[in-house]
Amino acid sequence: MARVTEPSRYGDGVAVVVVTYFPGEDLDRFLDSLEKATTRDVHVVVADNDSTDDALDRAEKRKNTHVLRIGENLGYGGGANRGVATLDDRYGWIVIANPDLEWEPGSLDTLVEAAQRWPRGGAFGPLIRDPDGTVYPSARLLPSLGRGVGHAVFGKIWPANPWTRAYRQEHAAPTERTSGWLSGSCQLIRRAAWDSVGGFDTRYFMYFEDVDLGDRIGRAGWHNVYVPSAAVTHIGGKATSRAPKKMLAAHHDSAYRYLADRHRGPAWKPVLAAVKLGLKLRLKFETRGK
């Protein structure tokens, strides 16, 4: 367990690490809306996974914005880790975010204020809306083997299945509460909590890196806290739409890795073999004609 009551060596500064891959105008909108999301003088790191568009050049001209050109595609978690590694000890709070977000006015300040109410809070997630205003279920239970397999195998072909409904917590009231994990598209993370788990596990190139992080944050003695009084709008992933079949395969690989990491030993091998087969069949079903 982390000694979460010990004094932090970090200051009260807030840094925003936005992980990009050909972000285009999304990055401009993200940075524009961020200016209205806080009265703080936040430091922004654009951790870029080898993009070649001119959005990075525009970002470099902004105040308090550093563009980190990684030079290779490390995935979301790897890019975030690299961005956080550039920060000095002034920054005790880190926002990890996608560029295809628009912040509501005051939303980042609201997240930071909520963190003061939760001294054992390690990660804080806002309410996330889709572009049509629908609330996205961004604070979920951890996927147990039963829920995880049920959701992974049946989530697309039978959306109303009981495993998906339980896992996504879609009908839970939008109140401030603890959660198993929070959407990686936007989180405020206490730097001490980040250090206690070593950031994202870079074996997850894309998908499930946020599930894994939430699980490890909880195991380290911290809470994942849903803060619906703060809100953002998630426009949607252009990066994933560039290669949908590849991204689906990455999702299934990450789902299997997450479950296999938590169910080790000979007794689990037949179960995991069945899980792998089910995910393979789902991938084949979902990518027909793509």
Domain at 121, CATH number: 3.90.550.10
144 shares its domain with 110: yes
CA–CA gap between residue 262 and residue 258 (Å, rounded):
7
What share of the chain has pLDDT > 70, as a percent?
Answer: 80
185 shares its domain with 264: no
Q: Dump pLDDT digits (tens) for 91-110.
A: 999 999 999 999 999 999 99
Distance between start and end Cα atoms, the chain: 46
Mean pLDDT computed over 177-184 = 97
221 shares its domain with 258: no
Number of folded domains in the chain? 2
DSSP letter string, 21-90:
SS-THHHHHHHHHHHHH-SS--EEEEEESS--STHHHHHHTSTTEEEEE-SS--HHHHHHHHHHTT--TT
225 shares its domain with 166: yes
> Is the model more confident about 275 or about 156?
275
The domain of 261 spans 244-287
Contacts of 94 (CB under 8 A, 6+ apart): 14, 15, 16, 17, 84, 87, 188, 189, 191, 194
Residue type, 253: D
259 shares its domain with 224: no
Beta bridge partners of 18: 46, 97
41 shares its domain with 120: yes
Is residue 144, in this structure, part of any structural domain at all? yes
Q: Indicate the burial class of 140 (C-beta count within 10 angstroms; 0-12, 13-18, 19 or more).
A: buried
155 shares its domain with 258: no
Look at residue 177 and tell me whether its pLDDT is greater than 90: yes
Look at residue 8 and tell me whether its pLDDT is greater than 80: no
Q: Dump pLDDT digits (tens) for 53-85.
A: 999 999 999 999 999 999 999 999 999 999 999
Give the pLDDT band (50/70/90) at residue 178: very high
Domain boundary among 202, 221, 237: 237
231 shares its domain with 273: no
CA–CA gap between residue 214 and residue 280 (Å, rounded):
26
Global pTM exceeds 0.85: no
Q: 53 and 60 in contact (C-beta within 8 Å)?
A: no
Rounding to the nearest 10 degrees, give the CA dihedral for residues 97, 98, 99, 100: -130
Burial string for 55-69 (b: 16+ CB within 10 Å, else e) reads bbeebeebeebbbbe
Q: 229 and 110 in contact (C-beta within 8 Å)?
A: yes
